[in-house]
Chain A
């Protein structure tokens, strides 16, 4: 979709994208010639059609609307279940609520869970894979690390897991 400032006969430029509110997006365009601004307010149906393409809308990350589906907002149920979304604020997974509950850490002597630490390099690799795979990948890798007697996931552990499980 493109917008044209009729008096100037000039294509309008996207300025901001407001966060979705009850399924509606507020997308502001302005004319680079005369400065006139207009807002496109989508209905939920229109919003979903665009989101279903798996694209992001907006000129910068702060105003981007994440495409729903593979990166939909986290459901309350999954947050309560302590899955990926609770650890990665702002990220989300549509399948998180469907994931079988898995342990996140073995209890120590006091009964408190011992978290597995991820190095920055390992976290960066995890961030490269689709969001809908991350929760299962994280818990599985942590289990793999524990089985090998370590509470740290680094790139060597990832490589070992890849050799063990992957093509």
Chain B
């Protein structure tokens, strides 16, 4: 009796063929994109979306063609932050044109399609069993977006990932080895521990880990014109309470300041202090580039340059490459 692999085709359902077609459409659609970078963490609330948008802005200001795909379908935030909540999706000749921000960054976010008062819902033949199929459906939606948007010629497409270490790996599997990962953490042992799990999980696959960014590395007090600590480790001496903004902009990464290793085993591309003004801008969809120079702006500029250097200096992973961890180059400190 014949076995499964003795039979060519699937008898006419074409399920596998259609899945392969979808993958080809995605590959073709992204052919003009030079770099694919997923910004993830594993931990929620560390500022992935904010960093993604403002790094994109910093790179756009250098003349690069940048787009963001807000892959957090259940909690999309890029539409509001980028000011494209009311974006118009215009049919192109074969695909849908990518909406752009006023500073020229392409942004696809479900937040442009679904009001914040609504949640993303899929109709299902198996109501009450969404835990069994929802992730598959969301990745099919991601594939449909990737295959049906005019990405065109881009220097960089950034994926703003949802939280969850396991989700980060699922995106790595789905997006394939062309996609590099930038991880975001904050100066908290809890966050660092979760990000370490993401590093461990990603290190088993072929995707490059470019490094990590430590966000909320202190906060910028405009009254004092100084960076003050947000998080203090209980087993560490308190950091200096007062540092000038200029000194902060030139500061070494948080780990060096604290005198302890990150434990993540990947390069630190920089640290970014929290600035309440930045949060206000995000809520109102104003690009950071429109602000006068600030410590957080300078920190983002530094991270953007490190990211660019790392991308340019590392070789994209081959689909048939080894599965060893290939971190980016350690940045100069």
Residues of A within 8 A of B (CB): 1-4, 6, 9, 11-15, 20, 23-24, 27, 29, 44-45, 47-59, 67-70, 72-73, 75, 94-95, 98-100, 122, 125-126, 128-130, 132-133, 136-137, 140-141, 144, 158, 161-162, 165-167
Q: Is the CB of A3 within 8 A of B19?
A: no
Q: How far is the CB of A16 from chain B (nearest CB, A)?
A: 10
Q: Is the CB of A94 within 8 A of B136?
A: no
Interface pick from B137-145, B174-182, B206-214: B137-145
Q: Is the CB of A167 within 8 A of B97?
A: yes
Residue from the list A1, A72, A132 in contact with B10, Cβ < 8 A? A1
Chain B hits for A137, CB < 8 A:
88-91, 96
Q: How far is the CB of A68 from chain B (nearest CB, A)?
A: 5
Given contacts A52-B140, A70-B140, A132-B113, contact A3 B11 (CB under 8 A): yes
Instruction: With CB as the reference atom, state the residue of chain A lying closest to B137.
Output: A52
15 pairs, CB–CB < 8 Å, chain A vs chain B = A11-B7, A14-B13, A20-B125, A47-B125, A53-B136, A53-B140, A56-B18, A70-B140, A73-B123, A129-B96, A129-B148, A137-B91, A165-B90, A166-B92, A167-B100
- B64-99 CB mask vs A (1 if < 8 Å, else 0) is 010100000000000000000001111111111111
Q: A47-B126, A166-B99 known; 9 other A-B pairs, CB under 8 Å?
A: A1-B15, A3-B11, A11-B7, A11-B11, A45-B125, A45-B129, A48-B124, A95-B113, A128-B93
Chain B hits for A166, CB < 8 A:
90, 92, 97-100, 150
Residues of B within 8 A of A (CB): 1-2, 4, 7, 9-15, 18-19, 22, 65, 67, 87-100, 104, 106, 112-115, 118, 120-127, 129, 132-134, 136-137, 140-141, 143-145, 148, 150, 152
Chain A hits for B18, CB < 8 A:
53, 55-56
Chain B hits for A50, CB < 8 A:
15
Q: Is the CB of B144 within 8 A of A54?
A: yes
Q: How far is the CB of A160 from chain B (nearest CB, A)?
A: 9
Given contacts A130-B148, A140-B89, contact A4 B2 (CB under 8 A): yes
Residue from the list B10, B92, B124, B143 in contact with A162, Cβ < 8 A? B92
**Residue of A4, A141, A166 most packed against chain B (CB within 10 A):** A166
Residue from the list B125, B129, B144 in contact with A70, Cβ < 8 A? B144
Q: Is the CB of A6 within 8 A of B1?
A: yes
Instruction: With CB as the reference atom, state the residue of chain B lying closest to A133.
Output: B89
Instruction: With CB as the reference atom, state the residue of chain A lying closest to B112.
Output: A136
Instruction: With CB as the reference atom, state the residue of chain A lying closest to B9.
Output: A11
Chain B hits for A11, CB < 8 A:
2, 7, 9, 11
Instruction: With CB as the reference atom, state the residue of chain A lying closest to B152.
Output: A167
Give bound CA distance, A155 to B318, whole Å: 41
Give bound CA distance, A2 to B2, whole Å: 11
Give bound CA distance, A55 to B1, whole Å: 30
Residue from the list B9, B115, B136 in contact with A52, Cβ < 8 A? B136
Q: Is the CB of A49 within 8 A of B133?
A: yes
Chain A hits for B100, CB < 8 A:
165-167
Q: How far is the CB of B184 from chain A (nearest CB, A)?
A: 25
Given contacts A69-B140, A162-B90, contact A2 B7 (CB under 8 A): yes
Chain B hits for A53, CB < 8 A:
15, 18-19, 136, 140
Given contacts A67-B140, A165-B100, contact A48 B90 (CB under 8 A): no
Residue from the list B11, B92, B133 in contact with A2, Cβ < 8 A? B11
Q: Is the CB of A141 within 8 A of B136?
A: no
Q: Is the CB of A49 within 8 A of B91?
A: no
Instruction: With CB as the reference atom, state the residue of chain B lying closest to A27.
Output: B13
Residue from the list A12, A20, A54 in contact with B11, Cβ < 8 A? A12
